[in-house]
Structure 1
């Protein structure tokens, strides 16, 4: 999601949804809720999507916010004041471990950088909390496996923030793919062309900003001097903390490629790309990338590019299921069918009509109230599957090899690729053994 889209979510999150309106849309939920006490939520990491997620949850009448947490006290105090202006009093924390100890918190929202998701989600589950965790679920294949095991062991309700799974038009499009009307599907393309993302200029290291607990921000990441390029939003473009567009947008678009094809584990993965647009800038992850996943009888192809919006089919993001009879093109705005001449009827653009983030939040609360994880639209296993799939693309790119995955041994055919299955932990932190 780009900066503009995130700002729209934050702006829209202050809208009030009435109890009557929610009851009409989600009668099953309100039949189960009754007059139970409110669900007390804390948000950890509140500068971006963590804040948007919290506000989507706060639209639900059975939810209250009791705590906020951020390592940047400037952000923390700003958000506390924003909630106070809406009549909500939340206690502020700068250490997430204090939040997990609180008896006034039932649910934790994790909106921290990717390299923190695993530790915080597992510790939250072990503390008896339910969790709404931002995507990608984990920052490595090993982390994702540990996170799934922790949820199963602690019986926590965990929703991963892939909110498109809660939108009706995405479901309608996948149902059409499953109908067989497209004929044999030989190729699925998924892409994100991000014209808004320009070059990350090289900046010198600097003093840690006042009010920021930088050691806590780094957590398990490699110790190094503070640099503004690696902080807040732009952490995404550094391997120490995230996986670039492959895991930022890839988990969204490739998720629907897998759902449409009822697929999960590829036979092989190869990738080619680099810093073609901005070779001298400060980012580490590729600004241009093509990744090909081989399956039995079809391929899935990922493309991303920064600085330009001219993606396939004239769309800056999307998924295309290319069949013998026609092609279904899907993105956040809607879907359509482009027919092969004389083989099927086209379908005019079916526009999105709902708010995926709000629906995803309500779906999560339904599961929390009913203690039924089976109703979740993106449970931890689904989040792990697509995060691992996207990380495989990065591993292929970083090794420069065509790699083969063995689902029985959870390993690749290549020793160099196997070294990237786990993200290194530093500063005394360890990947939890679950």
Structure 2
């Protein structure tokens, strides 16, 4: 704001900001435990809303948030900018055309190996109770003594964050949901632990998740470690071909495919060569991106994409443009509250499975976990 020649008004309480009749839209980038309350207050004030993932901190909050958005008829966008990636759009077309055959397994992952990638963010030297409103940060979270780590590294604690489920799994899950329309899984099993970052955190740094969709005959897996940066695979395994979205898009024919059997036999299709390839980020070296988060996000197509004409564009800007366009047209966004509800429930099912040490099942009639 200062760079543009003006000064932004600072509010200690978001409700005071919402009283301003000149404000039409809010963008919420607060810790997860504040998302629902601020979205609901904004919706009740008639503001259109863009909020970061994970949409909410709990399952009940997800229900309350969706109700508030719909009752107040405001426009809502959840910040899954990967929906603007050309790679995801091409992948959706491939799946819908049946090029892969019957997809029975989808594999996704997150590998990071830097302190910032494990949410060990720098703590300002001058940070203290004198310039931080501790009670306001906590909100409805349980009372604890002032702790700078809990403020600046809040993702490491269940009171404020949603761990790997809400921060990183949701990106992968949303990509799969966009491509296949899988929605909320029937059941989820998750396991893991704190195996490397022994810094007092509560959330796991190794996390394994299996989501079952028996009505779709498919399992979606997510595997994460915050102590290794080797790139594994984002793969869609079909009976006729495999779709590889690991840093690009490649389709490889299965050697035992029935659909492509004749072309394989004739030599028209070579198994070692992709049936189809699409590199939306060609020419952009990952090494040129400096931060650990940016290295991960550009590799996932979460920072940049390329238009069909070859122009590189920022996916977050495209996602915001979609939001603003929908504000004007009063039509649903690309990641509206209904999609956000599916995202939140799927993430919370994984979290609860890990915390409770059991399989979590979603009752889609009662909209509860059992």
Partner of 2:110: helix, strand, or coil? strand
Corresponding pairs, count: 318
Please state if 1:266 is matched with 2:185. yes
For 2:101 and 2:321, the matched residues in 1 are separated by 36
**TM-score, normalised via structure 1 length:** 0.69
Is the Cα–Cα contact under 8 Å of residues 208 and 221 in structure 2 kept in the other structure?
Answer: yes
Equivalent residue for 1:338?
A: 252
Measured after TM superposition, the shift of residue 336 of structure 1 is: 1.9
For 2:135 and 2:102, the matched residues in 1 are separated by 53
Unmatched runs of 5 consecutive residues or more in structure 1:
1-82, 314-318, 414-434
Equivalent residue for 2:173?
A: 254
Higher relative contact order (CA 8 A, sep 6+): 2
Partner of 1:377: helix, strand, or coil? coil
Please state if 1:364 is matched with 2:323. yes
Partner of 2:188: helix, strand, or coil? strand
Q: Superposed, which structure 2 residues align to 1:179-328 within 5 Å?
A: 179-196=97-114, 197=117, 208-232=128-152, 234-278=153-197, 280-296=198-214, 297-313=217-233, 319-328=234-243
Is the Cα–Cα contact under 8 Å of residues 139 and 242 in structure 1 kept in the other structure?
Answer: yes
Deviations 1:356-375 (A, max 9, x none): 10101111111112222x2x
Q: Superposed, which structure 2 residues align to 1:3-402 within 5 Å?
A: 83-196=1-114, 197=117, 208-232=128-152, 234-278=153-197, 280-296=198-214, 297-313=217-233, 319-330=234-245, 333-341=247-255, 343=257, 346-351=275-280, 352-353=305-306, 354-372=313-331, 374=332, 376-402=333-359
Measured after TM superposition, the shift of residue 338 of structure 1 is: 3.0
**TM-score, normalised via structure 2 length:** 0.81
Deviations 1:32-91 (A, max 9, x none): xxxxxxxxxxxxxxxxxxxxxxxxxxxxxxxxxxxxxxxxxxxxxxxxxxx222224422
Is the Cα–Cα contact under 8 Å of residues 111 and 225 in structure 2 kept in the other structure?
Answer: yes
Is the Cα–Cα contact under 8 Å of residues 190 and 301 in structure 1 kept in the other structure?
Answer: yes
For 1:130 and 1:325, the matched residues in 2 are separated by 44
> Structure 1's 88 and 336: CA in aligned 2 closer, same or farther, altered over 3 A?
farther
Deviations 1:296-315 (A, max 9, x none): 211111111102112423xx
Is the Cα–Cα contact under 8 Å of residues 207 and 226 in structure 1 kept in the other structure?
Answer: no
> Structure 1's 258 and 370: CA in aligned 2 closer, same or farther, altered over 3 A?
closer
RMSD: 2.1
